[in-house]
C-alpha cells in the first residue's frame, strides 16, 4: 500500500505532535480518488488553470470538499487560504505518490476485441503506461502489428517481458487461459496484473492483482435499480454495499460518487 511522509498538518505546514516524519498509509479508496484528481488537474492545466480551490476540484472530481482535503492530507499538501492549490505542484505531488514519476511498460495478453482496443488506446502512453508487448495464440495474429507493436506468442511471455522490462500485465484472454498467462507474466518479472478474465487468479504475494469484471459491475448497477424500484431500504435512502474485492463499505450517492 502506498505511503508518504507527512510534511505538515496545518495551513502553516507544521507537523502534528508526535507525528513528524512518520509515513502515512494511504487507503485504497483514497488512492483511487487521487487518480481521479490527477485526471481533473491534467485537464485544468491543459486549459491554462494555475490555481484551483478545493470546492472547484471536488466538484469536478465528483466528491465532497471535506473528503478531498482529507485525501490530499496524505500527501502533506495544503492549499493557501483564499487562493487554493497550485495546479502544477499538486499534479506533481499526486504523480509522485501514485508512482508516475517513471514509466511503467505494459503487456497485453489476448488480442481479441478488448485486447485490440487496449493496444490501440492512445491515452496510455501519455499517462506513463506505454504498451510494450502484445501476446496471443492465434497464428493469424502472430507477427502482425497492432497499435504499432507486433503480436508475440503466449509462450514467449516470460522472455519478452523480461527483455522489455514490462512491469504491468493486462490479461484479456478467455478464462481458461488466464491462469497460465498469469504464471508466465510472473515468470517474466511482472509484479502487477490487471485481469479482465472472469476468473480468480492465484499469484505470489508480491504480485498485485486487480480484477475488472464488467458483468459484475453491471449486476451491481442492476441491484441499485432493483432496490430503488422495490423501495428498499424502507426509508428510500441510498443502498450500502461492500465493494467487491475491497471489503470497503461503499454507497452510491445521487451524483454517482462512491463514498
Cα angle, residue 170 at apex, residues 198 and 185 outer, rounded to 5°: 105
Let me know if residue 258 belongs to a domain.
no
pLDDT average, residue stretch 29-41: 91
- Which CATH number belongs to the domain containing residue 9 in this structure? 1.10.10.10
| Residue 115 marked in a binding site | yes
Q: Which domain holds residue 31?
A: 3-97
Task: Please identify, among 69, 97, 125, the residue that sits at the C-terminal boundary of a domain.
Answer: 97
Number of domains in the chain: 3
120 annotated ligand binder: no
Residues 201 and 142 in one domain: yes
Exposed e or buried b per residue across 187-207, where buried means at least 16 C-beta atoms within 10 angstroms of its C-beta: ebebbbbbbbbebebebeeeb
Same-domain status, 224 and 205: no
* Annotated binding residue 113: yes
226 shares a domain with 206: no
Whether 197 and 174 have beta carbons less than 8 Å apart is answered as yes
Phi, psi for residue 59 in degrees, rounded to 5: -65, -40
Domain boundary residue, one of 97, 118, 134: 97
As a whole number, the mean pLDDT across the chain is 81
Mean pLDDT on 64-69:
88
Q: Is 112 annotated as a binding residue?
A: yes
Sign of the dihedral through C-alpha 192, 179, 175, 249:
negative
With respect to residue 237, please indicate whether it lies within any of the assigned structural domains. yes
Q: Based on the domain organization, do 207 and 176 belong to the same domain? A: yes
Give per-residue pLDDT as tens, 85-108.
889 989 988 988 888 878 899 999
Contact between 102 and 165 under an 8 Å Cβ cutoff? The reply is: no
pTM, rounded to two decimals: 0.68
Ligand-binding site membership of 114 (annotated): yes
Residue 257 lies in a domain: no
Q: What is the pLDDT of residues 161-187, one digit of tens each?
A: 999 999 999 999 999 999 999 999 999
Give the tens place of pLDDT for each residue, 232-254. Answer: 554 445 445 544 444 343 444 43
* Bond into 233 cis (ω within 30): yes
Residue 111 annotated as part of some ligand binding site: yes
Asked if the structure places residue 112 within a domain, the reply is yes
Amino acid at each position: 500500500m502506498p505511503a508518504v511522509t507527512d510534511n505538515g498538518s496545518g495551513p502553516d505546514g507544521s507537523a502534528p505532535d508526535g507525528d513528524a516524519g512518520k509515513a502515512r498509509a494511504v487507503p485504497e479508496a483514497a488512492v483511487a480518488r487521487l487518480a481521479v484528481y490527477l485526471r481533473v488537474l491534467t485537464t485544468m492545466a491543459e486549459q491554462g488553470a494555475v490555481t484551483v480551490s478545493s470546492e472547484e476540484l471536488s466538484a469536478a472530481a465528483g466528491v465532497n470538499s471535506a473528503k478531498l482535503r482529507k485525501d490530499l492530507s496524505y500527501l502533506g499538501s495544503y492549499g493557501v487560504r483564499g487562493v487554493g492549490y497550485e495546479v502544477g505542484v499538486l499534479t506533481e505531488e499526486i504523480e509522485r505518490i501514485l508512482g508516475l514519476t517513471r514509466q511503467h511498460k505494459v503487456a497485453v495478453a489476448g488480442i481479441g476485441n478488448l485486447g485490440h482496443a487496449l493496444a490501440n488506446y492512445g491515452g496510455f502512453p501519455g499517462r506513463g503506461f506505454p504498451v510494450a508487448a502484445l501476446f496471443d495464440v492465434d497464428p493469424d495474429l502472430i507477427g502482425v502489428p497492432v497499435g504499432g507493436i507486433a503480436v508475440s506468442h503466449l509462450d514467449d511471455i516470460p522472455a519478452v517481458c523480461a527483455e522489455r522490462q514490462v512491469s504491468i500485465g493486462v490479461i484479456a484472454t478467455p478464462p481458461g487461459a488466464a491462469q497460465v498467462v498469469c504464471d508466465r507474466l510472473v515468470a517474466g518479472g511482472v509484479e502487477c496484473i490487471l485481469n479482465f478474465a472472469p476468473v480468480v487468479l492465484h499469484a505470489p504475494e508480491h504480485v498485485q492483482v486487480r480484477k475488472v469484471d464488467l458483468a459484475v459491475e453491471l449486476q451491481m448497477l442492476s441491484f441499485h435499480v432493483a432496490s430503488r424500484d422495490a423501495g428498499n431500504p424502507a426509508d428510500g435512502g441510498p443502498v450500502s454495499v461492500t465493494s467487491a474485492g475491497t471489503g470497503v463499505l461503499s454507497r452510491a450517492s445521487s451524483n454517482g460518487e462512491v463514498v
